[in-house]
Chains A and B, each alone.
Chain A
Amino acid sequence: DVKVTQSSRYLVKRTGEKVFLECVQDMDHENMFWYRQDPGLGLRLIYFSYDVKMKEKGDIPEGYSVSREKKERFSLILESASTNQTSMYLCASGCWPRDRVVPNYGYTFGSGTRLTVV
């Protein structure tokens, strides 16, 4: 089974701290995503990457950056954490090639990191 592992299940950080959320997948997937999930707002896409060193902004990239130095690892960085970034963060990976060859499975999500900024 594909595994997407997020480094921490729960994290508490102080306002202004630099925060790294790590995500690792073990299936050689090209595409990786970071979402945040908030009550009443659902899942919102922050950033995604379809290749090493490539990144694309999602719907809410402000206040975040990402790093993809290796294919299996996609990091989300909060440069200066703020209380409004308190949320559940979800990483996902998948193989949905741009040449439209369709694999017989969807994207796999990690279990999430619940980040609290105080």
Chain B
Amino acid sequence: DAKTTQPNSMESNEEEPVHLPCNHSTISGTDYIHWYRQLPSQGPEYVIHGLTSNVNNRMASLAIAEDRKSSTLILHRATLRDAAVYYCILVYGQNFVFGPGTRLSVLP
């Protein structure tokens, strides 16, 4: 399975943008890039996914490098409710494997 690498933790101030990086240098042409987040005491929650082009939805934006070896999840204005563990995952077919993720702290 292709692997992803993320920083263990990041901090952000409330109402500022947050850029969460993910490296996936062994990505294959058919892997989709998914992002999930897990709030305390809850199951993971889908955030966004993409293949080659940048993607936007109501929760976040996903910027994918031209060579697809890295991507960045962008939260445009962090709130205290965005404090969570964020997972970047490569998905092919039915199986997807979680790494340790990035723990995001949001400071008031």
Q: Which of B88-108 contact A (CB under 8 A)?
A: 91, 93-101
| Chain A residues closer than 8 Å to B100, beta-carbon distance | 42
Is B43 a contact of A48 with CB atoms below 8 Å? Answer: no
Is A107 a contact of B46 with CB atoms below 8 Å? Answer: yes
Count A interface residues, CB 8 Å. 26
Is B30 a contact of A100 with CB atoms below 8 Å? Answer: yes
A110 to B98, CA, bound (A): 16
| A50 interface hit (Cβ, 8 Å) | yes
| B21 interface hit (Cβ, 8 Å) | no
| B49 interface hit (Cβ, 8 Å) | yes
Is A112 a contact of B42 with CB atoms below 8 Å? Answer: yes
Task: Tell me the number of A-to-B contacts counted with CB atoms below 8 Å.
Answer: 51
Partner of A42, one of B45, B94, B98: B98
Is A90 a contact of B43 with CB atoms below 8 Å? Answer: yes
Is B42 a contact of A111 with CB atoms below 8 Å? Answer: yes
| Chain B residues closer than 8 Å to A111, beta-carbon distance | 42-43
Is B101 a contact of A42 with CB atoms below 8 Å? Answer: yes
What distance in Å separates the Cβ of A76 from its nearest Cβ neighbour in chain B? 14
Partner of A107, one of B48, B51, B96, B101: B96
| Chain B residues closer than 8 Å to A48, beta-carbon distance | 94-95
A43 to B36, CA, bound (A): 12
A48 to B96, CA, bound (A): 10
Chain A residues with CB under 8 Å of chain B are 4, 31, 35, 42-45, 48, 50, 56, 58-59, 90, 92, 96, 98, 100, 102, 105-112
